[in-house]
């Protein structure tokens, strides 16, 4: 049996005959339905270069290796770098909050109301009508209040959206994430609410994208991919025609797909050319996108998503903004599947106020015996020295399709989560 040997390389160093194991970035950033394949023609190689993805993982057991002296990072080296960057956040305090179970049912009702409001607002935009800023402000106030009580409740519930309501609930989720991040950065409350409005409206331009493309149950063609990439400018045009929309909200709408290394769109801005709020929008947009189910792909586990984003951080995100984001949602966000030192598996329920490494966890399965356990919520902050998280786990690897029911305490339904 040939051992898998993974190496991370820059796209500029990719050559024909190499086997791509994974793209370093959200699947929404590249036009390939498959993530694992041999690059065997110049057209595909050029498409990868043009996609804006900066780095890829190659499997040298299935394709060509890098040339002698060519820069590459091994799986172990990257894992060590990522863990070190995440652990650097641990020692700093987390915002105080009420318990998740106190907020989750209020947040569930708010999600339902917010979805209806956003659907109506976006429908008006699609018909060419101006956005009602007063209506947006009222909704942002309600979301802000929930996030202040416990950001993980609304943020985590909004992640449970069904694929057909993605565009609307994604806006609600990014609004909540922007508010939590703005508070973590210590911004004034007026700026916190403006950040929330920017999150709610950042994808308004998708109303100008045909539904057949937005809801396509498969990977987009290059032409369709190009059409989707017009949504920031389309959104900017919509908001310019509305009253009382600030310059900052316009900026986030237009530039939330820019990357600090200059490989983003639509204007390929880099570094300090990108505003603080647009950098915040980039992080929040990607996190909710990759943790959400789409018609063609299951969302990633929240903790695995944080790990992957930390891996991409240098080229994609502003480091200080991403660090604050991790503090706001946790290294192991609510809903993450984790393995404990005892060999038990559990789902993260809520964050501890002073340490990102000691959340409350609901234990439910023995990894050693591969059998269910009586469900029990434990506070790792009270078990320091006796129990701890030793790693992230993939729900798909364990065939846990209804994992979210364990932390949300809401019944599984075939319809919308937020009807």
The pLDDT assigned to 414 comes to: 43
Q: Is the pLDDT of residue 416 over 90?
A: no
Range in 57-66, 345-354, 365-374, 402-411 with the lowest mean pLDDT: 402-411
Structure tokens at 77: 């080296």
The pLDDT assigned to 329 comes to: 92
Give the pLDDT band (50/70/90) at residue 24.
confident
Q: What is the 3-state secondary structure (H, E, C) of the chain?
A: CCCCCEEEEEHHHCCCCCEEEEECCCHHHCCCCCCCEECCCHHHHHHHHHHCCCEEEEECCCCCCCCCCCCCEEHHHHHHHHHHHHHCCCCCCCCCCCCHHHHHHHHHHHHHHHHHHHHHHHHHHHCCCCCCHHHHHHHHHHHHHHHHHCHHHHHHHHCCCCHHHHHHHHHHHHHHHHHHHHHHCCCCHHHHHHHHHHHHHCCHHHHHCCHHHHCCCCCCCHHHHHHHCCHHHHHHHHHHCCCCCCHHHHHHHHHCCCCCECCCCCCCCEHHHCCHHHHHHHHHHHHHHHHCCECCECCCCHHHHHHHHHHHHHHHCCHHHHHHHHHHHCCCCCCCEEEECCCEEEEEEECCCCCCCCCEEEEEEECCCCEEEEEEEEEHHHCCCCCCEEEECCHHHHCCCCCHHHHHCCCCCCCCCCC
Q: Is the pLDDT of residue 122 over 80?
A: yes
Structure tokens at 108: 């569930």
Distance CA 125, CA 143 (A): 21
Please list the residue range(s) of the chain that carry CATH number 1.10.3210.10: 100-329
Give the pLDDT band (50/70/90) at residue 223.
very high
Distances (CA, A) of 393 to 48, 244, 248, 347: 29, 46, 38, 10
The pLDDT assigned to 41 comes to: 86
Give the pLDDT band (50/70/90) at residue 67.
confident
Q: Which residue has the tokens 């604050």?
A: 324
Least Cα distance to 324 among 183, 155, 163 occurs for 183
Give the pLDDT band (50/70/90) at residue 97.
low
Check residues 345 and 53 and name the one with the higher pLDDT: 345
The percentage of residues in the chain with a pLDDT greater than 90, rounded to a whole number, is 53
Superfamily (CATH H level) for 100-329:
Hypothetical protein af1432 (1.10.3210.10)
Give the pLDDT band (50/70/90) at residue 197.
very high
Structure tokens at 48: 């990868």
Give the pLDDT band (50/70/90) at residue 95.
low
Least Cα distance to 280 among 165, 175, 358, 136 occurs for 175
Q: What average pLDDT is seen over the chain? A: 87
Distance CA 356, CA 379 (A): 12
The pLDDT assigned to 408 comes to: 82
Check residues 51 and 394 and name the one with the higher pLDDT: 394
The pLDDT assigned to 34 comes to: 63
pLDDT tens-place string over residues 384-397: 999 999 999 999 89
Distance CA 181, CA 11 (A): 31
CB 177 within 8 A of CB 199: yes
Q: Is the pLDDT of residue 347 over 90?
A: yes
Mean pLDDT of 315-342: 94
């Amino acid at each position: 049996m040939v051992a898998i040997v993974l190496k991370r390389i820059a796209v500029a160093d990719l050559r024909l005959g190499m086997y791509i194991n994974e793209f370093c970035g959200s699947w929404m950033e590249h036009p390939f339905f498959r993530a694992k394949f041999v690059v065997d023609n110049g057209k595909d190689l050029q498409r990868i270069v043009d996609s804006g993805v900066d780095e890829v993982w190659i499997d040298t057991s299935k394709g060509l290796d890098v040339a002698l002296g060519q820069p590459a990072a091994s799986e172990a080296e990257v894992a060590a770098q990522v863990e070190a960057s995440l652990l650097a956040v641990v020692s700093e305090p987390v915002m105080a909050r009420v318990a998740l179970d106190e907020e989750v049912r209020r947040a569930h009702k708010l999600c339902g109301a917010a979805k209806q409001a956003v659907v109506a607002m976006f429908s008006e935009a699609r018909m060419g009508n101006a956005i009602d800023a007063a209506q947006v402000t009222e909704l942002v106030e309600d979301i802000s209040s929930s996030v202040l009580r416990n950001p993980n409740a609304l943020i985590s519930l909004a992640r449970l959206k069904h694929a057909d309501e993605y565009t609307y609930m994604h806006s609600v989720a990014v609004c909540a994430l922007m508010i939590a991040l703005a508070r973590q950065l210590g911004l004034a409350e007026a700026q916190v609410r403006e950040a929330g409005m920017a999150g709610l409206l950042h994808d308004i331009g998708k109303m100008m994208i045909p539904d057949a493309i937005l809801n396509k149950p498969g990977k987009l063609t290059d032409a369709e991919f190009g059409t989707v990439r017009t949504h920031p400018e389309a959104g900017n045009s919509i908001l310019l025609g509305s009253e009382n929309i600030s310059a900052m909200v316009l900026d986030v709408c237009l530039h939330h797909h820019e990357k600090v290394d200059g490989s983003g769109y639509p204007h390929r801005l880099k570094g300090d050319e990108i505003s603080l709020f647009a950098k915040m929008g980039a992080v929040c947009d990607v996190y909710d996108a990759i943790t959400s189910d789409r018609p063609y792909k299951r969302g990633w586990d929240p903790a695995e998503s944080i790990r992957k984003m930390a891996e991409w951080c240098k080229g994609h995100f502003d480091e200080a903004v991403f660090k604050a984001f991790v503090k706001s949602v946790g290294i192991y966000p609510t809903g993450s599947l984790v393995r404990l030192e005892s060999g038990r598996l559990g789902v993260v329920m809520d964050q501890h106020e002073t340490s990102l490494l000691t959340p409350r966890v609901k234990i439910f399965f023995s990894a050693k015996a591969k059998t269910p356990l009586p469900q029990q919520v434990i506070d790792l902050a009270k078990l320091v020295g006796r129990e701890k998280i030793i790693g992230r786990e993939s729900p798909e690897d364990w065939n846990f399709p209804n994992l979210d029911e364990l932390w949300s305490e809401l019944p599984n339904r075939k319809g919308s989560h937020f009807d």
